[in-house]
Amino acid sequence: MASPMRSLFTDPDRYLQSFRLFLKNSTEHQCIQEFMERQLPAVVESIGNGKSAINILSVGGGAGEIDLLILSKVQARYPGVAINNHVIEPSADQIFKYKENVAATSNLENVKFTWHEETAYEYESRMNEEKKSEKWDFIHMIQMLYYVKDVSATIRYFHSLLEEQAKLLIIVVSGTSGWETLWKKYWSSFPSDDLCCCVSSADIKRILDSAGLKCQLHELPSHMDITSCFIEGNKDGEMLLDFLTETCEFSKTASPELKYQVMEELRKPECSQERDGKVLFNNNMSVIVIEP
């Protein structure tokens, strides 16, 4: 009999709800923001040397909150220099929010924004069809490589678009995170979906090593409070379980055996730690900075 389980991506509204709950319960955004504040200035130190304009490509820019923080650091390093900021983002809703965020942000007079409502693969295909090969001074891909069909090919393609002093910055979950443990053991038990793959910094490091590409790795400690997942019938807990397993209504559709195994796994030290009566899931991330 076919499993009643279905991918969370088949219900975009529930996915967005669970994603917002994940952000609310985790320190993800704070960790990324802290990295951008403290360490990004060194990353962008030489990307615009001798240039009259700096070209930046945001792959999977979402609603632009992190993009705008990145732009502020580039502006601080190169005051007054023109910046062409191109955004690849498949969601029309996210682009709309991005434009709202731009409208509400001051000091962007020297930044020109161009949005492309398409996936990374669609962008690559369009460039190839149009026989274009635009070069970039800074490309960033933040928490988006889970949504490409061929991670290795995607990295190779965008790396090929780097200028001489440019950088490619990737953020994904760390190979030491609870995600890596959960995925390795249970990914095959969750409903398969072409829209998503499990990829961590360990996988990316292997891809870069085999391609002979140099990189710097920065670990960002992060956690997510999943205490509510262990309270039977708790709506937030059920939604977070959906996000963790990428399964729509996991609590209701998973077999009792699978649900028991996953709940047990989530409590193990490889996935979470218990502190002050809370279960904190290891949401560590990695920042990978790749040279041309």
Q: In 10 A of CB 87, how many CB atoms?
A: 23
Q: How far apart are alpha carbons 251 and 237 in whole angstroms?
A: 9
Flag whether 283 is marked binding. yes
Amino acid identity for residue 24 in this structure: K
Q: Are 145 and 207 in contact (CB under 8 A)?
A: no
Cα-based torsion angle of the residue sequence 268, 269, 270, 276 in order, rounded to the nearest 10 degrees: 100
Q: Are 120 and 144 in contact (CB under 8 A)?
A: yes
Terminal CA-CA length for the chain: 51
Q: How far apart are alpha carbons 255 and 29 in whole angstroms?
A: 33
Flag whether 84 is marked binding. no
Q: In 10 A of CB 188, how many CB atoms?
A: 8
The residue assigned the tokens 């829209």 is 195
Q: Are 59 and 26 in contact (CB under 8 A)?
A: no
**DSSP-assigned beta bridge partners for residue 280:** 225, 273
Q: Are 94 and 66 in contact (CB under 8 A)?
A: no
Q: Are 32 and 285 in contact (CB under 8 A)?
A: yes
DSSP class of residue 5? -
CA-based max dimension of the chain: 64
Sign of CA dihedral 101, 107, 109, 111: negative
Binding site per annotation, positions for substrate: 28, 283
Binding site per annotation, positions: 28, 283
